[in-house]
Each structure stands twice: as C-alpha cells, then as structure tokens.
Chains A and B, each alone.
Chain A
Amino acid sequence: MTLILTLASRNLFHDRVRLIATAVGIVFSIVLVTVQLGVFLSFERMVTTMIDHAHADFWIVPSETKSFEDSSLLSGRERLQALSVNGVKAAVPAVVGYASWRKPNGGASTPVLVVGTPENSAGLQPWNLVEGNLRDLSLPEGVAVDRSYFDELGITKIGEHAEIDNQKARVVAASSGIRSFTTMPNVFTSLERARAYLGVPPNEANYFMVRLAPNADAAAVRGELVAHLSDAEVLTSEEFRHRTRQFWLFDTGAGAALLGSAILGVIVGTIIVAQTLYSSTKDHLKEFATLRAIGSSQIYILKVILSQALLSAVIGFSVAACIDLMLVRATADAALPIVMTPELTLGLFVLTLAMCAIAAVSAIRVVTRIDPVAVFAQ
C-alpha cells in the first residue's frame, strides 16, 4: 500500500487539537444541513399529506388555487358537470377552511383547519384512527381530531365537547400521527357539519374529488372535464401536490429559508475545514518541500492533502450521522419531525466529501507554490 494514506492519516492524528477543530466544523455543518434538509423533507411531505390520503383520480379545484388549505369555493354546478362526463364514477365534495375552536368549559380559543367530506364516501377521511370509528362522524356534532392535539384543544378523551365557531362539536374519534405542518390542528367532520362550521352554503365546496369508473380512459376523461369546466381547474393528485408544495415551500419563503440555512451550514463548514487544513498544511510545509525535493510529483502531494481532507470528512460525517440519528429519534413525535432517508444520508456523505475537497483548495494552492529549495532554509 502506498504511503499517501499513511502520511495523510498520521498528519491528521498527529495534531489532535486541529483534528478535533476540523471534526467539530464538519459535524456542526453537517448536523445543521441535516436538520434543515430533514425539516425541509418533512415539511414537503406534510404539506401534501391530505392529498396523499385522499381517494381521488382528479381534483376539481377553483381557478388559481394555490394550495390544499387555501382555496375559494366552487358553486356545486361543477359536480353535476363532472358526473355527466362518461367515465366519472363519483365527484366527492370536500370543504376545507379555518375556524376557531373554543376549548371546553369556556376555555380559550385556538384556530383549527376543518376538513369535511361526506361520511359515507371514500373521499378524504381521517386515517390511523385509534379511538372511535369513521361511522361515528355521522353522529350529531361528531368530529375527529388527532390525539397529539388533545392538550392544545383542551380535551382529555373522546366524548368531550367543544365549540367550533360558536357551534357545538363533540370529539367522537381520535387518530394518531395526523400532524399539521402549521400550528393549527386538523379537525375532520362530515360535509354538512363542516359547511355549517365554515359558513359554506349548501352544494358549494372547495374541491370535488373525481373518481373514475373502472377501465375509464383517464386522459380522455380529463380532457372532457376541462372542456366542461371553464371556471375551475382539473388537476391530478400529483399536480395538486406539486402546486401545494410550491406554494408552501417556495411562495411563502419557508422552504427557501430552510435551504438557505442548509447552504449557510455548508459554507460555514467549508470555511472551518479550509482554515484547519490550510494551517495544517502550513505547519507541514517543510515536509512537503522535502517530498518535492526527493522528487515527488505535484500529484503525489495533492493526493496526500486530498486524502487528509477526505479522511477528515469521513471522521466528521461519522460523528454527525450519529448525532443526526439521535435528532431524528428525538423529533419523531414533534410537529415537524426531522426526516432522514437513505438518499439524504448518501447525499450528505457526498456533500461532506465535496465540502472537504473544496476546503482543500487553499491548502493545495499553498503546496503547488512550494519551492523544493526551501529544504535548505534553516
């Protein structure tokens, strides 16, 4: 085996203080990037969770709808027009809007997102129910909430009463894991009750979820729907997801802020590693000059420095990955958990290697200027 790796690793471990400084720089950077990208991924998933769990081949949405949570109302005529198209099996209305939840016993109010669909249709129902069942939503005043929001909603168990925009509501079912990416809990209820809570006139709805008949030609049906619905848009679930992501991640600036912080993390990490690598190289200049004097090529010396940088990357990444795993576990039940995927982990490793390789540039610039005659200087 060549001595390049030996020399690089010994140089690295020879000065432990500098190695620790380098590793801390990398760890800080990678953990920061992981948190930001992990939250970004989590956010990206959460903003489309309603669309993901809806049973729809197409969505009829008001024109210029920006996201699932923020749309105007359709008149209801669209549903009839959709049902008149060959290949459409159902057009399930959904009402979505913000309302005020008043806690039981005259407690304070908190905003919630009310989602209402017909209780007997497979449109958009709460999932992962751990108490109660979907049929209970047809009970008078019946609503379902996620149990992680019980404290926030001022309830302790199902069966308790509250008010939504001054109208009675009774928690009849509880889900697990339906977290909102905003601070507002989701409240599922029947279509009619949602209309009542949100003041939506009969027949009107925010969306109609179109389900196709078996063997229907999706493209042809969509074409017909578009032709029939001049005041609304027809989107596939993927298109609706993309639009919702685009709005929450980029139009609001939230995603850009997360990505910006991640980029900042990379820059800070690169600077720290560059500084330590540069000073390490400066400390070993005599040795590099000796290498040059005994006939080493520039490439050989560059390999030593790059190996040093990449070894630092592996050490720093290993520590950062352990911290990241702890953070992922610690935030698993948080409103916005940090998500780590194999792709993200691999990407972060490549990023760490690239960051350290770029950080080596300043050190490389120093050694490429080394004059072997420097070995004679005392």
Chain B
Amino acid sequence: MTTTMIEATNIVKVLGEGPARVEALKSINLSLVGGELTLLMGPSGSGKTTLLSVLGCMLSPTGGTVEIRGRSTTGLDAEELAALRRDNVGFVFQSYHLFPTLTAAENVRLALDVRGGCSRMARIKAEKALATVGLSHKARAFPRELSGGEQQRVAVARAIVGDASVILADEPTAALDSENGHAVMMMLAEIAKDPTRALFIVTHDPRIMPFADRILRIEDGRIVSDQRGGGRTSPLRALKYAS
C-alpha cells in the first residue's frame, strides 16, 4: 500500500508579464508516492526547476492545485507555505547551500531549529542523521573542511533529519565527481526505500537513471513521458553509474 505524498493537479505556472510572459508549466498532473524515487529530466528551460519550486511550496501555481499529504497549498500565504515546507519537505540543492559558519552537525540541526522545540532532541536527531549519511566523525567540521561529496551528504542529512515526507533534490550530483555522485545517489536510493518518504530528483545526469523507480521527462512545460523503471539500485546499476 503506497501513500501519496504530493498530488499536483492541472498545474499551470506563468512567469513574467507582457512580452516577457512565459507559460513555464502547462497542465502538469503528478503524484509522488512514498517509497519511490522519481527522476525529472529534461532540457534547460523545460520547466524542471519551476516544477520543483511549485512542488516544494516555494512558488504558488498560477492554476491547478498542489496537495502535500492531503493539505492543499491553495490560498496559503508565504508564512503558511514556509510552515508546510518545514514540516513536510526536505531539500537537497546542487550547490549544497550549507552555512559556512556552522559545523556539519549545526547545519543539520538547523532544519529542526527553525521548527522550534527541544534543542537536546534536535542534537540527538542531527547526530543520527549524520550517522545515516556516514559522517558522524565529521560532525564538528565546518563546510570548508569537507569535500564536495561530504558537503552534499550533510545536505542530505539536513533534508532527512526532520522526517520530511518528501525530499526534493535539485541536481544533487551535478557538482560532484562520479565517485561522490555515486555515493550520494546510493544514499538517496537507500533513503527512498522508506515508504514514508517520496524522493523527487531533478537532474540532467543520465548516470543516475539506474537508481530511479520512475523517470519523468519534461519539455516546454509539459510532461512528455512517464516511465516506471525496474526498481531499486543494484550493484550492476552502481557499476553503470561509475562507468
């Protein structure tokens, strides 16, 4: 039994006005379910990041509805959308966006700190999340002391520490070499096994296709294909990435 984490219906997003008006998303229908790793691929300017922003409650759609775990985002103001994000969505960014002045553990803890609540519990959860990504020994390191791969793993820990039901990742391997990209994808694929989480990854990188349960292709603001793959990452797929 799968749980729908995000349900997007007839999403339209118009950017700009007048001559600069662009219909970035055109009637997108999409469901993300728990335990599934979905890739969104497409050329530059096809609407990938716009769709990610709409699903992540950063942009409000011009038309259509988005529901996060059954809660509609329609009519919510910026603060309410932020609250929805912090309780339900974890983000992994291409350039990590770690805070340079905070240690790895503090960067992870930040996702809980913005929620308020018990800081001792937040510390424990942050340690656990860092252990999940194999970086317990780097908890006190600052981002400048970490490699790109390690920084991205800290960002993954930050995304999962709050038990978000949806993890949205924007080109998570683009800034990494193949070895680190592979390690991060292995980790995300492992996280995606959790049926309480849906993973949605926007990418250009064809090497990560073997990790996907589902691959969407977007062109000119429309989803033009929706393929379900063979399932979980196998050693063979990992090898494919490396090659």
Residues of A in contact with B (beta carbons under 8 Å apart): 1-4, 6-7, 10-11, 14, 286-287, 290-298, 300, 371-373, 375-376, 378
Contacts and interface: CB of A to CB of B under 8 A. Distances in A.
Contact of A2 (B84, B89, B119): B119
B179 to A, nearest CB: 23
B102 A300 contact: no
A294 B112 CA distance: 10
8 contacts: A3-B110, A7-B101, A7-B102, A294-B85, A295-B115, A300-B114, A372-B82, A378-B95
Interface residues of B, number: 36
Contacts, number: 81
- What are the 9 tightest A-B residue pairs by CB atom distance, in nearest-first order? A295-B86, A10-B101, A296-B114, A295-B85, A290-B97, A3-B113, A372-B58, A14-B101, A373-B58
Contacts of A11: 101
B159 to A, nearest CB: 8
A122 to B, nearest CB: 68
A1 B101 contact: no
B117 to A, nearest CB: 10
Among B49, B89, B93, B97, the most chain A Cβ lie within 10 Å of the Cβ of: B97
A302 B177 CA distance: 37
Given A3-B113, A14-B101, A294-B90, 16 more contacts: A2-B113, A3-B102, A3-B106, A6-B106, A7-B99, A290-B93, A293-B56, A295-B87, A295-B111, A371-B58, A372-B58, A372-B82, A376-B52, A376-B93, A376-B170, A378-B95
Nearest to B97: A290
Given A2-B119, A291-B110, A294-B91, A376 B83 contact: no
Given A6-B106, A373-B58, A375-B93, A297 B114 contact: yes
B53 A373 contact: yes
A351 to B, nearest CB: 29
B94 interface: yes
Contact of A297 (B53, B83, B102): B83
Nearest to A1: B119
B129 to A, nearest CB: 13
A297 to B, nearest CB: 6
B14 interface: no
B158 interface: yes
